């Protein structure tokens, strides 16, 4: 019933107005799935290779589609993804393009779920419990590669770790975003928005810390649960080969560790992503030892384990959803969290492998969007299916709210 009868590929627009790959998968029994590949701006050197969409589509039509149609079952995700890997024949999808591969992989999963008449998260093996849901991390102030002339640090994140439900968490993040906008207006600071819908004011990092901390505190008081604070430093983008450059200020690797550890202490940070450049396993280990193994000082902790009781030191460019790099990090105690981006590795199966390896070894998986997104909501289902404690989605914008609203629907469906 789930044998694939057709695969169609096309170019569509992502949230930045750039072309990306969308795939349709149809089964012999009429099951249908559609998915589109996102694209990152600050991409890690070790990510799977994204080809120009036209090239990726041509390569997939020539090499992948013949292996899938009338041969592979959409209901068997491992079989689908093995066929994609075989059609590519490289370690990093440089022949097929990770963008075409992940679009087909996700579309096939949806087609398999459609045949079964089940939600995608159930098809992927998951269940939903109202008291265990992925906490959304919402980007409320952004700079770096996501917005010109704004902060050096790429993302300032709201983290509603005390929320009693996904609905409350979603609306708390939106409230933090709105509060930051009002604070900027009160101070006469003009602010456009970056790639992910975060405010992108031309202010120094120190001012952004003060703004976001104040907004989180206001919303925390309004909602009655802890709204924490997190960062994506995107340190690889600040690294010049010898030091981290914050405008006119330069920090050595040791000074960078000291700086980030100080920020964790000062702001009781819930989450710090990519605090060091993408190959500094030793620096990640040093920082994790300093801030990632002991309980946070907050008096508002919700008692939900890794959601609130320790600072997550998360590797994105460090791990790139790759089990081999993750294993290296595990062996060196480099980080206690991994960011999961399916397009970063090319298939849903490989993303799940990284989540399972992380979970077995005590690292917290954080399923994530990309800066160039689509309306596709697969990652919401992936986070629920794998029990990931966190999901990065952004806060506002149709391609961001698509994931958040899908999480709300999943929660309602599971009641």
In a domain, 126, yes or no: no
Residue 19 lies in domain: 4-118
On whether both 13 and 99 belong to a single domain, the answer is yes
pLDDT at 127: 65
In a domain, 366, yes or no: yes
Give the C-alpha separation, 3 to 158, whole Å: 43
On whether both 193 and 87 belong to a single domain, the answer is no
Q: Of 155, 179, 196, 278, which one is the catalytic site residue?
A: 196
Q: Give the residue from 89, 118, 147 where a domain finishes.
A: 118
Give the CB-side neighbour count of residue 83, counting CA atoms within 13 A: 22
On whether both 238 and 308 belong to a single domain, the answer is yes
In a domain, 361, yes or no: yes
341 belongs to the catalytic site: yes
On whether both 91 and 156 belong to a single domain, the answer is no
CB of 238 closer than 8 Å to CB of 264: no
Question: Over the stretch 291-307, which tens digit does the pLDDT of each residue have?
Answer: 987 666 654 444 444 45
On whether both 285 and 190 belong to a single domain, the answer is yes
pLDDT at 186: 96
On whether both 95 and 213 belong to a single domain, the answer is no
Percent of all residues in the chain with a pLDDT value above 90, rounded to a whole number: 86
On whether both 113 and 148 belong to a single domain, the answer is no
CB of 373 closer than 8 Å to CB of 20: no
On whether both 25 and 105 belong to a single domain, the answer is yes
In a domain, 128, yes or no: no
178 belongs to the catalytic site: no
Two tokens, residue 322: 């790759």
On whether both 108 and 63 belong to a single domain, the answer is yes
In a domain, 308, yes or no: yes
On whether both 214 and 288 belong to a single domain, the answer is yes
Segments of the chain with pLDDT less than 70: 42, 127-131, 146-148, 294-309, 415
147 backbone dihedrals φ, ψ, rounded to 5°: -160, 125
Q: Give the residue from 61, 83, 118 where a domain finishes.
A: 118
Which SS3 state, helix, strand or coil, does residue 124 take? coil
Question: Over the stretch 202-248, which tens digit does the pLDDT of each residue have?
Answer: 999 999 999 999 999 999 999 999 999 999 999 999 999 999 999 98
pLDDT at 147: 65
CA of residue 100 relative to chain centroid, distance: 19
Report the number of distinct structural domains present in the chain.
Answer: 2
Q: Of 155, 277, 341, 406, which one is the catalytic site residue?
A: 341
pTM of the predicted model as reported, rounded to 2 decimal places: 0.94
């Amino acid at each position: 019933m789930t044998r694939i009868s057709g695969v169609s590929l096309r170019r569509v627009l992502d949230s930045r107005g750039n072309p990306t790959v969308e795939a349709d998968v149809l089964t012999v029994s009429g099951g249908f799935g559609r998915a589109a590949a996102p694209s990152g701006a600050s991409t890690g050197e070790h990510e799977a290779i994204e080809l120009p969409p036209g090239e990726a589509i041509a390569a997939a039509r020539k090499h992948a589609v013949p292996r899938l149609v009338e041969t592979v079952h959409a209901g068997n995700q491992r079989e689908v993804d093995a066929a994609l890997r075989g059609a590519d024949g490289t370690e990093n999808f440089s022949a097929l393009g990770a963008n075409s591969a992940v679009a087909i992989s996700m579309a096939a999963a949806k087609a398999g779920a459609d045949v079964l008449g089940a939600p995608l998260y159930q098809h992927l093996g998951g269940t939903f419990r109202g008291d265990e849901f992925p906490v959304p991390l919402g980007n409320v102030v952004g700079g770096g590669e996501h917005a010109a002339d704004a902060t050096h640090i790429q993302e300032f994140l709201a983290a509603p770790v005390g929320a009693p439900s996904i609905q409350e968490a979603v609306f708390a993040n939106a409230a933090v975003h709105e509060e930051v906008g009002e604070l900027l207006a009160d101070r006469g600071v003009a602010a456009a928005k970056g790639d992910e819908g975060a405010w992108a004011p031309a202010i120094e990092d120190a001012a952004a810390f003060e703004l976001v901390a104040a907004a989180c505190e206001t919303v925390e008081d309004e909602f009655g649960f802890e709204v924490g604070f997190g960062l994506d430093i995107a340190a690889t983008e600040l690294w010049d080969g010898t030091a981290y450059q914050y405008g006119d200020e330069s920090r050595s690797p040791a000074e960078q560790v000291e700086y980030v550890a100080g920020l964790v202490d000062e702001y009781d940070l819930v989450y710090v992503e990519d605090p060091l450049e993408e190959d500094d396993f030793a620096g990640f280990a040093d920082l994790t030892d300093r801030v990632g193994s002991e309980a946070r000082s907050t008096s508002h902790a919700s008692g939900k384990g890794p959601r609130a009781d320790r600072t997550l030191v998360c590797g994105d460019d460090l791990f790139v959803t790759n089990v081999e790099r993750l294993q290296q990090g595990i062996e060196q105690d480099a980080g206690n969290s991994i960011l999961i981006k399916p397009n970063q590795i090319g298939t849903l199966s490989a993303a799940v492998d990284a989540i399972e390896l992380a979970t077995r070894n005590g690292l917290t998986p954080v399923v994530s969007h990309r800066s160039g997104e689509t309306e596709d909501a697969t990652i919401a289902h992936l986070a629920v299916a794998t029990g990931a404690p966190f999901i990065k989605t952004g806060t506002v914008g149709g391609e961001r709210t698509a994931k958040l609203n899908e999480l709300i629907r999943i929660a309602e469906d599971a009641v």
